[in-house]
């Protein structure tokens, strides 16, 4: 039964790792698409004659909506990554000593702490890019309109 239990843990461990990879990729894609959409808004403002106040308001509102949607998606993915990292800690606590030795690449537990709070988090980078993108887009729109 112990072998079967370890097999399930191995499957769950691999699934968590793959999900983290997928979520991180989606964060990058979300940030890139938000920047692309900010550029589209600027391109529209530069190429289309804006004739009414309503069009100006819509054009200024769209980047704010892009920013909000991007922030929401990145934050939701960040929370999902954090859950998977915490799950990996729980799984590793039940795996064999030989696995843990290999995972720590021969170092002691004190040298390689297994704490998700100490992992590098790129969410600050994604949030910063969204803030800079929104600010630049609104500034360009203000200059054009």
Locate 26 and state its tokens. Answer: 């989606």
pLDDT at 2: 59
Question: What's the chain's average pLDDT?
Answer: 92
pLDDT per residue as tens digits for the range 76-129: 999 999 999 999 999 998 988 888 888 888 888 778 878 888 888 889 999 999
Q: According to the model, what pLDDT value does residue 110 have?
A: 78
Contact 123/37 with Cβ under 8 angstroms? no
Which pLDDT value is given to residue 39? 98
HEC string for 88-138: HHHHHCCCCHHHHHHHCCCCCCCCCCCCHHHCCCCHHHHHHHHHHHHHHHH
CB 116 within 8 A of CB 87: no
Domain-by-domain residue ranges, the chain? Answer: 2-144
Rounded Cα distance between 82 and 3, Å, is 28
- pLDDT of 1 higher than 60: no
Q: Please give the structure tokens belonging to residue 60.
A: 């200024």
Which tokens belong to 53? 């106040």
Q: What is the pLDDT of residue 7?
A: 87
pLDDT of residue 28: 98
Residue 137: the pLDDT is 98
Q: Could you tell me the pLDDT band of residue 5, with boundaries at 50, 70 and 90?
A: low
Q: Which two tokens stand for residue 51?
A: 């004739």
Q: Per residue in 31-85, pLDDT tens?
A: 999 999 999 999 999 999 999 999 999 999 999 999 999 999 999 999 999 999 9
Closest among 116, 120, 123 to 30, alpha carbons compared? 123
Q: What is the pTM (predicted TM-score) of this model?
A: 0.88
């Amino acid at each position: 039964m112990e072998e079967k239990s370890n097999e399930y843990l191995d499957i769950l461990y691999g699934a968590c790792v793959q999900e983290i990879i997928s979520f991180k990729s989606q964060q990058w894609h979300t940030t890139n698409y938000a920047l692309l959409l900010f550029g589209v808004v600027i391109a529209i403002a530069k190429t289309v004659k804006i004739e009414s106040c309503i069009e100006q308001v819509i054009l200024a509102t769209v980047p704010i909506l892009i920013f909000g949607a991007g922030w929401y998606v990145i934050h939701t993915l960040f929370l999902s990554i954090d859950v998977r990292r915490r799950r990996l800690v729980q799984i590793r606590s039940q795996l064999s000593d030989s696995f843990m030795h290999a995972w720590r690449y021969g170092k002691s537990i004190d040298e390689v702490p297994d704490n998700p709070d100490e992992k590098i988090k790129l969410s600050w980078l994604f949030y910063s890019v969204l803030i800079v993108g929104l600010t630049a887009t609104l500034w360009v729109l203000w200059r054009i309109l």
